[in-house]
Amino acid sequence: MTETHNSADGAVHLSIIGPIARVVFDRPQAHNAMTWSMYERLEAICTELRGNDDIRVVSFSGAGGKAFIAGTDIAQFRTFKSGDDGVAYEKRVAQFLGAVDSLPMPTVAVVDGWCVGGGLAIATACDLRIATPAARFGAPIAKTLGNCLAADVYVRLVAEFGIGRTKRMLMLAEMLSAEEAREAGYVSLIVEPSDLTARADAILTQIASQAPITMQTGKEAMRRLLDAVTVEDEDLIRRAYGSDDFKEGVAAFVAKRKPQWTGR
């Protein structure tokens, strides 16, 4: 079965062949930056997959060969007036990330190119990641927008990358290479673009052939372990999104100029 959803704000495609489901983020003109309609479609797809006991594994990938997902569409931040808008935004995104994270079957992110911000969060919500040598991972918001991530995203980044690399991504605004992501254990396999489809299919087929309940219960146990780390973060989100620096970061990004940070 193949199902698509298209709009001027991008598309998310779902295809199902036997026990394998594939989800593709399709907005290559914007490096697959996520719009609200794309996030909502992602959540709807996850709801559909969660109710299908025949699906054994799900892959997530980006169209165009240049990016997995390059974050959230920055234009959507232009309407923000206060820190409360940031709190509401992060809660909404957490709902979409939770839809991926709570899928009962194993999930695999197939990353070719940029995996940034919200894209990094979605890839981190998956169980495994394979990448091309050109893949880059990070959240360089300290030099772009001046906002922040939700605490539960930091928890998962620290669990995957370690606190040192996570701080480098945040404080130095570094994009980590596929090789360094593999060294950290975040990426399972690096594959040349010409072999990516075949190798991804082989991994999906292998997972689909294995004991589903064993994988599901193990995955759920680890998800509960991470969820047990709870951090209050609304004050932090409100401070970042309510700052003059965030307003400046959005304005500078849209105007394609360098932001002038004030620390206010």
What averages of pLDDT result for each successive group of 10 residues across the chain (264 residues)?
Answer: 59 97 97 96 97 97 96 90 95 96 98 97 98 97 95 96 96 96 97 96 98 97 93 96 96 93 96
Cβ atoms < 10 Å from Cβ of 93:
19
Q: Could you tell me whether strands 176-177 and 189-190 are parallel, antiparallel, or unpaired per DSSP bridges?
A: unpaired
Q: Is residue 201, in this structure, part of any structural domain at all?
A: no
pLDDT for res 80:
93
Q: Is residue 255, in this structure, part of any structural domain at all?
A: no
The residue ranges of DSSP E strands in 133-257, in sequence order, are: 136-138, 176-177, 189-190
Cβ atoms < 10 Å from Cβ of 248:
17
Q: Are 94 and 152 in contact (CB under 8 A)?
A: yes
The whole-angstrom separation of Cα 251 and Cα 245 is 10
Q: Is residue 241, in this structure, part of any structural domain at all?
A: no
What tokens does 21 get? 């489901």
Q: Is residue 37, in this structure, part of any structural domain at all?
A: yes
pTM of the model: 0.94
Enclosing domain of residue 127 = 2-194
| Cα three-residue angle 67-247-255, rounded to 5 degrees | 60
Q: Is residue 205, in this structure, part of any structural domain at all?
A: no
pLDDT for res 1:
52
Q: Is residue 6, in this structure, part of any structural domain at all?
A: yes
Give the CA count within 13 Å in the CB-facing half-sphere of 200.
27
pLDDT for res 4:
47
pLDDT for res 2:
46
pLDDT for res 76:
84
Q: Is residue 57, in this structure, part of any structural domain at all?
A: yes
Specify the CATH number for the domain of residue 72. 3.90.226.10
Number of structural domains (the chain) is 1
Cβ atoms < 10 Å from Cβ of 142:
18
Q: Is residue 262, in this structure, part of any structural domain at all?
A: no
The whole-angstrom separation of Cα 36 and Cα 93 is 9
